[in-house]
């Protein structure tokens, strides 16, 4: 009897593609494309394991993991994401998510991960441990504007509503240092105001 598997990813092609790829190994009991459908679908199909995208519409993967854990003791949860941010990994481990796979994995790695988790183990993609913090290999925007990791970090904090002083305090930096970073960011992005920065950050998912 093949293990029962539910796929939750809003990228239809990816979702469908993964299904095709591994339907020899697993019984794909459901596919959902929106966060709000995951819980109901889990209820209906009772999968052994859920492949869960983190960046889902309506409800994100983290919130879903919390809810799934509440309602379904035995369902294994595996995140499948393109994000390698350490804070994502951290949060996943805190939520006792069973696995974390990257979207640039191979079919073999995917199956290896799922099988490991089904056998009661954990599987966090080995590539996650060899990453330099805050360096986003596959972030087109960061490359396009040659932003440094520190600059991206500060952009995120500005996006989250922090001002220069708060950022300096949080990062244990001098006020002037953060000001310098801001100036460099503005220069690189050819902008002049924090409001433009917010727009840039939100529109580019930084």
Contact residues for a second copy, defined by CB under 8 A: 10-14, 16-21, 33, 54-55, 57, 60, 80, 82, 85, 103-107, 110, 137-140, 143-144, 158-159, 161, 163, 193-199, 202-204
Contact present, 101 and 76 (Cβ < 8 Å): no
By beta-carbon proximity to a second copy, the closer residue of 21 and 43 is 21
Q: What distance in Å separates the CA atoms of residue 54 and residue 9, rounded to the nearest whole number?
A: 8
Select from DNA, a second copy, none the partner in contact with residue 112, using the beta carbon and a kind-dependent cut-off of 5 to 8 Å. none
CB atoms under 10 Å from CB of 110, counted, come to: 23
By CB under 7 A, name the one of 4, 69, 150, 156 that touches DNA.
150
Q: What distance in Å separates the CA atoms of residue 85 and residue 136, rounded to the nearest whole number?
A: 8
By beta-carbon proximity to a second copy, the closer residue of 109 and 148 is 109
Q: How many residues bind DNA (CB under 7 A)?
A: 24
Please, what's the b/e burial string for 15-26 (b: 16 or more CB within 10 A of its CB; e: otherwise)? beebbeebeeeb
By CB under 7 A, name the one of 148, 156, 159, 206 that touches DNA.
148
Residue 179 found at the interface with DNA (CB under 7 A): yes
Q: Residue 8 burial (CB < 10 Å; 0-12/13-18/19+)?
A: buried
Q: Which residues bind DNA (CB under 7 A)?
A: 146, 148-151, 163-165, 171, 173-177, 179-183, 186, 192-195
């Amino acid at each position: 009897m093949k293990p029962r598997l539910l796929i939750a990813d809003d990228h239809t092609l990816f979702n469908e593609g993964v299904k095709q790829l591994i339907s020899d190994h697993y019984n794909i009991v459901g596919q959902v494309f929106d966060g709000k459908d995951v819980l109901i679908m889990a209820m209906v199909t009772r999968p052994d394991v859920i492949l869960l995208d983190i960046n889902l519409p309506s409800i994100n993967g983290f919130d879903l993991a919390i809810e799934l854990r509440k309602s379904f003791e035995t369902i294994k949860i595996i995140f499948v994401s393109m994000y390698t941010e350490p804070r994502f990994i951290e949060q996943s481990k805190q939520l006792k998510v069973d696995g974390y796979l990257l979207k640039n994995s191979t079919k073999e790695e995917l199956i290896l991960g799922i099988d490991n988790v089904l056998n009661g183990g954990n599987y966090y993609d080995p590539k996650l441990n060899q990453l330099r913090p805050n360096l986003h290999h596959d972030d087109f925007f960061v490359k396009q504007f040659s932003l440094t990791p520190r600059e991206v970090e500060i952009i995120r904090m500005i996006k989250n509503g922090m001002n220069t002083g708060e950022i300096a305090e949080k990062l244990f930096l001098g006020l002037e240092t953060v000001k310098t970073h801001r100036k460099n960011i503005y220069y690189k992005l050819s902008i002049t105001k924090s409001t433009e920065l917010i727009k840039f950050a939100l529109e580019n998912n930084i």
